Amino acid sequence: MTALTSGLVGIACLLLLTAVGVPVGIAIAAVGIVGMAVTGGLDFMLATLTTLPYQTTSHYNFVVIPMFVLMGSIASSAGIVSEVYAAAYRWTAGIRGGLFTATTLASAGFAAVSGSTVVNAAVFTRIALPEMIKFGYDRGVGGGCIAAAGTFAALIPPSLSFVIYGILTGESIGRLLMAGVLPGLLTVAGYLLVIPVMVRLRPHWAPPPVERFSFGEKLASLRGVWPMMLLITLVLGGIYGGFMPPSAAGAVGAAGALVIAFAKRKLPFGTLTTSLRETALLTGSLFIIIIGGLIFTRFLTISGFIAAANAFVVAADFTPLQFMIALTVFYFILGMFIDPISMLAMTIPFIYPIAMTLGLDAIWLGVITVKMIEIAVITPPVGINLFAVVAASDGKLKTSEVFRGILPFVVIELFILVLLIAFPDVSTWLPTTMTGR
């Protein structure tokens, strides 16, 4: 069996295992272990299993994952998110589609302290959807807006997707996080520009505003925004200015969220215990996936698949644009079945080396990859994030309604993706100006 064939067989087995319901982290590790034993020998496989998991979990830089998860969990439990949403609604209540706009703005704010798209979407399903139903908004479009705005957390730091990409590729996590800022803001701006047009073309999606607030009431609502702005300043300012690495910034952010929650007296002991438990469970799940991805990478390397794939791409004379188009289609299909983090762990081990052979910028590739997988998980017929919104709605939404409502936002996302591919500087400029690396 040739190196290229062995790698393709391994990838096919991985997809088959996930398709029949095997957890992704276990499936990736199992294929990698068997592949290493077959191609590298039993001794090599045992040596890898003895050293790699410990090396991964004991690396100080990886503490950023539980810290970012804890920060988002505490911010959500302490009511910081609902206060930001209330403020956004007061400022947008006087315009048609104001709840869509408020959801967009508040989701962008929460994305800057969350890092998880699924958490973002689930939180705002519980906060925003009842209000949309109350004021007669189209349920499907409302659910689509919530699901799509949830993907902001993939680009706007602290993004878990960028952290995983950095771990798997060895690229600077700090630079990757900063690279997502402008693309994330561009995506938010696209939503804010298109939503008013949407509701004018389809008036039944959002009825005329019935609630208005005075300027004084709007200003008063901003008191609920300062905790989130403080957390954003601490985390992003610390990373960008070089005052602290991402791992330390995550710890400062989590501690800051805890102090704010206690100061506001909105985090009972039981809630804190729940946040810690959720953080431990999610972190454990993520590390199983990461370790599995690294084991799979070892298999692809020792089998010679990566070298053979690079040689094939060079011989086929693929252009970077052709490669990116093929990658987009590939991720759209994969996104029908698998969540974003798992997609990264499954695909980056062989996509990253090929992209480097083509001379693509690693930071730009990270931004485009994260953008593509997030579009994939909100694209019908099986987008994972769509089902997260339906599940969090407690029966208020039907799957068919969300499938219909998400389509306008998928169009916006595709347009933003084209812009990011056409203008790489949007992704690469900010990391080149930062002090920290």
**365: how many CB neighbours lie within 10 A of its CB?**
25
Give Cα separations from 48 to 26, 231, 390 (angstroms). 16, 39, 41
Q: What pLDDT tens digit does each residue of the chain (437 aa) get?
A: 677 888 888 888 887 887 787 887 888 889 989 989 988 889 888 998 888 888 877 777 778 888 888 888 887 777 777 888 888 888 888 888 889 999 999 888 888 887 777 777 888 888 888 888 888 899 999 999 999 988 888 888 888 888 889 888 888 888 998 999 999 999 999 999 999 999 999 998 988 887 788 888 888 888 878 888 888 888 888 888 888 888 888 888 888 888 888 887 777 777 778 888 888 888 888 888 888 888 888 888 888 887 888 788 778 788 888 888 888 888 887 776 677 777 888 888 888 988 998 889 999 999 999 998 888 878 877 677 787 788 888 888 888 888 889 999 999 999 999 999 999 999 999 998 876 55
pLDDT of residue 176: 92
Query: Could you tell me how many helices (H) and strands (E) the chain has, helices first?
Result: 23, 0
Q: What pTM, to 2 d.p., does this model score? A: 0.84
Could you give the CA distance from residue 44 to residue 37 in angstroms, rounded to a whole number? Answer: 7
Q: In whole angstroms, give the CA distance from residue 261 to residue 255.
A: 10
- Asked if 119 and 153 count as a contact pair (C-beta separation under 8 A), the reply is yes
Measured distance between the N- and C-terminal CA atoms of the chain, rounded to whole angstroms: 42
- In angstroms, rounded to a whole number, what is the distance separating the alpha carbons of residues 190 and 420? 13
**In the chain, where the domains are located:** 3-15+23-433
Sequence-distant (≥ 6) Cβ neighbours of residue 195 within 8 angstroms: 97, 100, 101, 104, 145
* CA distance linking residue 294 with residue 289, whole number of Å: 9
Q: What is the pLDDT of residue 336?
A: 67
Question: Which residue, among 313, 295, 423, 419, has the nearest Cα to 358 in the 3D structure?
Answer: 313
CA distance 250 to 268: 22
Contacts of residue 172, defined as CB under 8 A and 6 or more positions apart, other chains included, come to 166, 431, 437
**Long-range contacts at 48-51 (CB < 8 A, ≥ 24 apart):** 48/295, 48/298, 49/295
pLDDT at 437: 54
Q: Cβ contacts of residue 42 below 8 Å, gap of 6+? A: none
Alpha helices, DSSP H, located in 3-63? 3-19, 24-39, 42-57
C-alpha 388/C-alpha 377 separation (Å) is 10
Given this model, what pLDDT does residue 337 score?
A: 67
